[in-house]
């Protein structure tokens, strides 16, 4: 046993010194990570990281956490959509096999999302076990520009990072400055309905409702801080939100037929319930990554119809070309916008 | 046990009154403020068909949101407690709960599969119900195939095995589920909740629960005899095999319907029959109605507490476990200290 441990220890030592450790990177969890000179093969440990690496350096991405479904694959270049499924390493639904990842020979592992002690220690463990440097980036919406810049530097994709972060900061700053002028009484009450019954929602500070908070609207469930929570129908009726956003097609279909909702919610009566698009990545909440930028443009018009009149077709074309490396066909965009619940009425 | 015989009508009366008071309380409290006179006006109007001079919102809250929820809690509590009472009598074991034959695990697998397939909520409920029936059917089939030995023991062991098989299925579906959307939905479903109950859910669930409860009530005197060893019961003219299947079928139907409506809520089916036994004795004919009333009252109390703690809700399964554990230990101590 002791010899075995010694061998493992030496191997770990070898692998950490063996790689050309030319750069030290301090990640968002405060961990000092030695990066190889040139990063060529990247394993993204979760969907937000996948989106970010794919946007910045698609040829360095060695796989996805989950294989694309055909309707999703149609939105990105085939050679990237065909990358293998490697599973996810950290966070909820840990499905990756460390051996599968080792076999894919990444020279860097990246996770974007929470940087708390749990994730930091997971990163340390995987790094020790595999000898592959593992960096953690803070995945909050308002740090998107920094995420792009930092990761661009790490991946050696500074030019693209400049292009994307310029786009992102223009988009975010533009929204922020125009919303800053909106008086409090013009900011809508929003309820985020999750699950087939729409009775799960995100509390203040949860990554799920960041978009509502960023756009200066009032999350009706925001008086309590936390993550996801279940609420009763009565409570939703009491809140009587002006706008309801969901990503559950079943809830969206049922909400119009449900006698309780129809009788008691002004958002249903005024037809202000919206279903977020989900192709190839969700526009609202999941995954909570850079994919939400286009969702912000969409949601801004829903929340402030008098203030924002974006040319959504053009915005989609630009965002998808920049981040997903293919401009969708006009037909694709028409189909996406014609899906029930997407277009503001 | 002579004492408890005279206690029975008293217990029924007290429990019935308590239940009525609790129902009135439950329908009057909630996050949406409706003053008590308005609640009464709405209920009166609904019963007599008259027009209530009450805002639309309040009427919807009382009739469409609270009333179905209160009725669901009562029915689910009564169903789980009666199924538990039936099983404890059948298996001659007070540690038995309604999911002894794998019904909850079967329901859970059905429901999480429905969530994984992104089905509408009504179909998820149907899957849950079907899953429970399939699991118990499988247990009975295996039990019949094994034959020989102690029939009851065979059933219990098969139930444990089938239950863990379906449990593994649930774990597998969790791994397959989309971690951002489906996994939380699965977790919330597995914890149980009355939060989304609508009148249309009751239209399906109540008859199913009644179909299970009525035979148990009609056969209560004979089911008493199942507590005796098989040969003694046979000597008294009971067809043990058929009666056993009838109890299992009734309990399975009730539990599956209850779990389909409210998710997996533990402890009610285990603890309530104990409390009933303590109140009126072990005779099934008296224990069943007391269990049903007590189970309904307990579930209603728990759900009312769950939706009153704050703006967000507690899962009732958590609260039943918090209450159930100490109460069970206390009942256990009480039961054993009574015996010489």
CB-neighbour burial class of residue A148 (10 A; exposed 0-12, middle 13-18, buried 19+): buried
Q: Find tokens 């996406």 and name the residue.
A: A336
Summarize the confidence of residues B125-147 as an average pLDDT: 91
Residues of A in contact with B312 (CB under 8 A): 203, 221, 224, 229-231, 235
Q: Find tokens 């036994």 and name the residue.
A: B277
Please give the pLDDT value at position A317.
95
Q: What is the mean pLDDT of chain A?
A: 88
Residues of B in contact with A258 (CB under 8 A): 198
B residues 292-331 near A, CB within 8 Å? 307, 310-313, 315
Please give the pLDDT value at position B1.
45
> Is residue A95 pLDDT above 80, yes or no?
no
How close A143 comes to chain B (CA, Å)?
A: 20
Is B174 at the interface with chain A, CB within 8 A? yes
Please give the pLDDT value at position B268.
92
CA distance B196 to B200: 11
Angle (deg, nearest 10), helices B240-262 and B121-146: 160
Domains recognised in chain B with CATH numbers: 2-338 (1.10.3470.10)
What element of type H or E holds A229?
Answer: strand A228-230
> Is residue B175 pLDDT above 70, yes or no?
yes
Please give the pLDDT value at position A39.
93
Please give the pLDDT value at position B91.
85
Summarize the confidence of residues B129-151 as an average pLDDT: 88
Q: Name which of B61, B124, B180 is nearest A237 (Cβ-Cβ).
A: B61
pLDDT digits (tens, 9 = 90+) for B117-129: 988 888 998 999 9
> Is residue B149 pLDDT above 90, yes or no?
no
> Is residue A159 pLDDT above 90, yes or no?
yes
pLDDT grade for B211, boundaries at 50, 70 and 90: very high
Please give the pLDDT value at position A14.
47
pLDDT digits (tens, 9 = 90+) for A180-219: 999 999 999 999 999 888 999 999 888 889 999 999 999 9
Please give the pLDDT value at position A117.
87
Residue A196 to residue B121, Cβ atoms within 8 A: yes
Burial letters B109-135, b for 16+ CB under 10 A, else e: bbbbbbbbebbbbbebbbbbbbbbbbb
Please give the pLDDT value at position A18.
44
pLDDT digits (tens, 9 = 90+) for B304-324: 999 988 888 888 988 999 998
Please give the pLDDT value at position A17.
46
For residue A196, the chain B residue with the least C-alpha distance is B121
The alpha carbons of chain B give a radius of gyration, in whole angstroms, of: 21
Q: Find tokens 């203030």 and name the residue.
A: A307
CA distance B267 to A265: 36
pLDDT digits (tens, 9 = 90+) for A59-94: 999 999 888 989 999 999 999 999 998 887 765 445
Structure ipTM: 0.76
- Which pTM value belongs to this model? 0.83
Structure tokens, A173: 């700053």
Q: Name which of A231, A258, A287 is nearest B312 (Cβ-Cβ).
A: A231
How close A88 comes to chain B (CA, Å)?
A: 10
pLDDT grade for A3, boundaries at 50, 70 and 90: low
pLDDT digits (tens, 9 = 90+) for B240-278: 888 989 999 999 999 999 999 999 898 999 999 989 988
Please give the pLDDT value at position A12.
52
Q: Find tokens 């010899």 and name the residue.
A: A3
Please give the pLDDT value at position A94.
56
**Of A296, A125, A84, A132, nearest in space to A210 by CA:** A296
Structure tokens, A183: 């008086």
> Is residue A314 pLDDT above 80, yes or no?
yes
Please give the pLDDT value at position A16.
47
pLDDT digits (tens, 9 = 90+) for B62-107: 988 999 999 999 999 999 999 999 999 988 887 788 888 899 999 9
> Is residue B335 pLDDT above 80, yes or no?
no
């Amino acid at each position: 046993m002791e010899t075995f441990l010694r061998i493992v220890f030496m191997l770990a030592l070898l692998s950490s010194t063996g790689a050309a450790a030319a750069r030290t990177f301090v990640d968002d969890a405060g961990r000092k990570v030695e990066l190889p000179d040139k990063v060529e093969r990247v394993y993204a440990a979760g969907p937000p990281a996948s989106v970010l690496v794919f946007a910045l350096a698609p040829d360095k991405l060695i796989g996805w956490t989950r294989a694309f479904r055909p309707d999703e694959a149609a939105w990105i270049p085939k050679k990237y959509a065909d990358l293998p499924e490697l599973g996810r390493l950290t966070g909820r639904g840990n499905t990756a096999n460390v051996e599968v990842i080792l076999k894919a020979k990444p020279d860097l592992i990246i996770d974007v999302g929470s940087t708390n002690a749990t994730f930091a220690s997971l990163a340390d463990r995987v790094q020790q076990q595999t000898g592959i440097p593992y960096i953690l980036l803070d995945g909050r919406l308002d740090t998107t520009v920094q995420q792009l810049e930092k990761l661009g530097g790490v991946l050696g994709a500074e030019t693209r990072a400049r292009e994307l972060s310029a786009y992102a900061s223009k988009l975010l700053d533009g929204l922020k400055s125009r919303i800053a002028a909106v008086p409090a009484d013009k900011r809508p009450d929003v309820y985020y309905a999750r699950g087939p019954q729409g009775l799960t929602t995100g509390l203040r500070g949860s990554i799920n409702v960041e978009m509502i908070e960023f756009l200066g609207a009032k999350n009706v469930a925001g008086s309590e801080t936390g993550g996801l929570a279940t609420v009763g129908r009565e409570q939703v009726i009491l809140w009587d939100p002006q706008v309801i956003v969901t990503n559950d097609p079943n809830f969206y279909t049922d909400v119009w037929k449900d006698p309780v909702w129809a009788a008691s919610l002004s958002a249903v009566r005024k037809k202000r319930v919206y279903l977020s698009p989900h192709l190839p990545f969700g526009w609202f909440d999941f995954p909570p990554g850079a994919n939400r930028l286009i969702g912000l443009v969409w949601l801004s018009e829903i929340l402030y119809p008098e203030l924002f009149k974006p040319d959504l077709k053009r915005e989609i074309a630009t965002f998808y070309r920049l981040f997903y490396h293919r401009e969708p066909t006009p037909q694709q965009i028409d189909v996406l916008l014609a899906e029930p619940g997407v277009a503001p009425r | 046990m002579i004492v408890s015989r005279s206690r029975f009508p008293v217990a029924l009366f007290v429990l019935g009154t308590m239940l009525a008071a609790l129902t009135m309380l439950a329908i009057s409290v909630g996050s949406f403020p409706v003053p008590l006179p308005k609640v009464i006006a709405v209920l009166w109007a609904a019963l007599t068909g008259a027009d209530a001079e009450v805002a639309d919102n309040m009427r919807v809250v009382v009739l469409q949101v609270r009333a179905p929820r209160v009725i669901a809690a009562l029915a689910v509590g009564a169903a789980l407690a009666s199924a538990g009472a039936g099983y404890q009598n059948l298996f001659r074991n007070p540690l038995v709960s309604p999911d002894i034959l794998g019904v909850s695990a079967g329901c859970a697998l059905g429901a999480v599969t429905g969530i994984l397939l992104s089905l509408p909520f009504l179909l998820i409920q149907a899957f849950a119900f079907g899953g429970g029936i399939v699991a118990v059917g499988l247990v009975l089939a295996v039990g019949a195939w094994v034959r020989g030995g102690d029939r009851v023991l065979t059933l219990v062991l098969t139930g444990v095995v089938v239950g863990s098989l379906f449990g593994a299925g649930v774990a597998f579906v969790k791994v397959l589920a989309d971690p951002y959307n489906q996994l939380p939905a699965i977790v919330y479903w597995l914890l149980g909740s009355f939060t989304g109950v609508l009148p249309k859910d009751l239209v399906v669930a109540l008859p199913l629960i009644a179909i299970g409860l009525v035979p148990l009530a009609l056969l209560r005197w004979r089911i008493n005899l199942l507590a005796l060893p098989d040969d003694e019961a046979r000597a008294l003219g009971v067809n043990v095999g058929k009666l056993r299947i009838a109890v299992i079928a009734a309990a399975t139907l009730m539990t599956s319907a209850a779990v389909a409506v409210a998710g997996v809520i533990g402890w009610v089916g285990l603890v309530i029959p104990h409390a009933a036994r303590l109140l009126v004795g072990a005779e099934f004919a008296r224990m069943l109605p007391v269990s049903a009333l007590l189970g309904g009252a307990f579930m209603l109390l728990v759900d009312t507490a769950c939706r009153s703690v704050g703006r967000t809700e507690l899962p009732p399964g958590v609260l039943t476990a918090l209450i159930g554990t100490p109460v069970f230990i206390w009942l256990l101590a009480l039961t054993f200290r009574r015996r010489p």
